[in-house]
């Protein structure tokens, strides 16, 4: 790819992602302002579960797919077999992961609301949404592997635009089940679009190959303990909020935490453009230069974002509405933790693009456990700010392992 073509592609991705950001943020603000804090707390739980399923059905599989597709993306028969293996394995995992996730969602929601018929309806709608979104994510990976970044972004923008349009019904009927149903409809439309574009790059009649399926499943099993641990770790924050805070605390965390959407613009650029390109590089000096440039830009993004939020914190809270006034401290704490998470997430995406996960896969659990124990000793979970700080303890501890994996992969240190 020439420098001019690359610049145009990055510019296109940034433009589409900024559009997506504005649509997503606008939709979030409408929901935050219209739903009661009790309903928004339920909505927060549902989307935490959606993220959990995404991790549990992709960990180890997606990095292996990226590595294999990075080598065979231009060889149709091989690529089709790799895709068939990806789809086969992730579809199988849905049968196990979805029921477990919905049980967890039920526990968390019942804890907040008590048991009622509406809970059954919410869980059913959540299950449908989860399955559709996991399937859509599979086709997005196919498009990413073919550097069809524009189509990936159009899929996301279509999803977000449909969420905004269908979600406007909440202005008339502000109920959680109506919102979930509108999200399902938006996801179905985005799924059809994404699948139609992905089908142009592989033969859907191709059967999965044992070699590729085995490689993906082997890496999945290797990372499964870490994946389960990370899921528990991430849901631990939600459990702490549900059991130590009331619905207001869960809603405050979910609403003010939307500030992290800002980093989605940069995350998508890194994932869709730089990580894919990074996976194709072989020459060590080019690898090092690309890696360091991406990290340097990520650090500048964090500093700039924190400074802007600090200057505009009162204005930002006015946008969220009257229910969320007086939460300046929570806004700044969540912005800081989002910055740290974004930096280590960037390192993780680059490592995953090359399947550099040796130390993270082996030592993440003991280090995270130590960090969690330290947090339990030092922090008071009746204070929501302490819960937010607690969320960053394991992120930082495992972040050093990601750095070690990078140093080994870049052959900077012989670790």
Domain interval for residue 104? 3-409
- Domain contains 94: yes
Confidence of residue 49 (pLDDT cuts 50, 70, 90): confident
Residue tagged 């196990």 (tokens): 96
Confidence of residue 112 (pLDDT cuts 50, 70, 90): confident
What is the structure's pLDDT at 311? 93
Q: Please tell me the distance from the alpha carbon of residue 335 to that of residue 259, in angstroms, as a whole number.
A: 7
- 328's tokens: 């300046």
Instruction: Please give the residue that has the higher pLDDT: either 263 or 171.
Output: 263
**Contact partners, residue 70, CB within 8 Å, separation at least 6:** 145, 276, 279, 280, 353
What does the DSSP assignment read for 121-133? HHHHHHHHHHHHH
Give the whole-number percent of the chain exceeding pLDDT 90.
5
Give the whole-number percent of the chain exceeding pLDDT 70.
81
What is the structure's pLDDT at 198? 80
Q: Please tell me the distance from the alpha carbon of residue 9 to that of residue 396, in angstroms, as a whole number.
A: 33
- Domain contains 414: no
Total domains present in the chain: 1
The backbone torsions φ and ψ at residue 35, rounded to the nearest 5 degrees and listed phi first, read -75, 145
What does the DSSP assignment read for 281-293? ---HHHHHHHHHH
Residue 89 in contact with residue 218, Cβ under 8 Å? Answer: no
- Domain contains 64: yes
- Domain contains 20: yes
Q: What is the mean pLDDT of the chain?
A: 79
pLDDT in tens, 238-273: 788 888 877 788 888 888 888 887 787 777 777 666
Q: Please tell me the distance from the alpha carbon of residue 121 to that of residue 118, in angstroms, as a whole number.
A: 5
**Contact partners, residue 151, CB within 8 Å, separation at least 6:** 143, 194, 197
The least confident of 18-22, 36-40, 250-254, 307-311 is 18-22
- Domain contains 32: yes
Q: Please tell me the distance from the alpha carbon of residue 279 to that of residue 290, in angstroms, as a whole number.
A: 11
- Domain contains 16: yes
The least confident of 18-32, 250-264, 289-303, 393-407 is 18-32
CA dihedral (81, 87, 90, 91) in degrees, to 10, reads -130
């Amino acid at each position: 790819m020439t420098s001019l073509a690359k610049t145009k592609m990055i510019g296109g991705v940034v433009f589409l992602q900024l559009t997506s950001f504005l649509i997503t943020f606008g939709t979030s603000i409408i929901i935050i302002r219209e739903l009661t804090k009790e309903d928004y707390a339920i909505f927060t739980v549902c989307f935490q579960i959606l993220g959990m399923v995404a991790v549990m059905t992709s960990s180890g599989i997606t990095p292996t797919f990226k590595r294999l597709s990075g080598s065979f993306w231009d060889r149709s028969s091989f690529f089709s077999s790799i895709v068939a293996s990806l789809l086969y394995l992730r579809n199988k995992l849905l049968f196990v992961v979805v029921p477990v996730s919905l049980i967890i969602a039920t526990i968390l929601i019942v804890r907040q609301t008590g048991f009622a018929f509406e809970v059954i309806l919410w869980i059913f709608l959540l299950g449908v949404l989860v399955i559709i979104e996991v399937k859509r994510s599979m086709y997005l990976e196919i498009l990413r592997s073919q550097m069809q970044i524009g189509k990936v972004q159009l899929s996301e923008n279509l999803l977000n635009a449909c969420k905004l349009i269908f979600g406007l019904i909440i202005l008339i009927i502000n109920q959680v089940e109506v919102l979930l149903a509108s999200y399902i409809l938006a996801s179905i439309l985005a799924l059809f679009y994404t699948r139609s574009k992905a089908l142009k790059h592989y033969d859907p009649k191709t059967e999965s190959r044992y070699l590729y399926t085995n490689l993906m499943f082997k890496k999945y099993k290797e990372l499964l303990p870490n994946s389960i641990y990370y899921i528990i770790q991430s849901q631990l924050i939600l459990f702490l909020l549900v059991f130590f805070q009331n619905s207001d605390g869960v809603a405050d965390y979910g609403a003010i935490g939307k500030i992290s959407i800002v980093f989605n613009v940069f995350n998508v650029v890194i994932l869709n453009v730089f990580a894919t390109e990074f996976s194709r590089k072989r020459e060590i000096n080019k690898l090092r230069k690309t890696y360091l440039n991406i990290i340097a830009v990520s650090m500048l993004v964090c500093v700039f974002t924190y400074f802007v939020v600090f200057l505009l914190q009162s204005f930002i809270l006015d946008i969220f509405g009257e229910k969320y006034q007086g939460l300046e401290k929570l806004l700044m704490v969540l912005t800081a933790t989002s910055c740290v998470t974004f930096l280590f997430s960037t390192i993780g995406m680059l490592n995953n693009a090359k399947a550099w996960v040796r130390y993270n896969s082996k030592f993440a659990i003991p280090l995270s456990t130590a960090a969690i124990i330290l947090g339990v000793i030092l922090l008071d979970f009746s204070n929501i700010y302490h819960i937010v700080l607690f969320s960053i303890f394991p992120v930082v501890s495992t972040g050093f392992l990601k750095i070690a994996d990078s140093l080994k992969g870049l052959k900077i240190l012989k670790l």
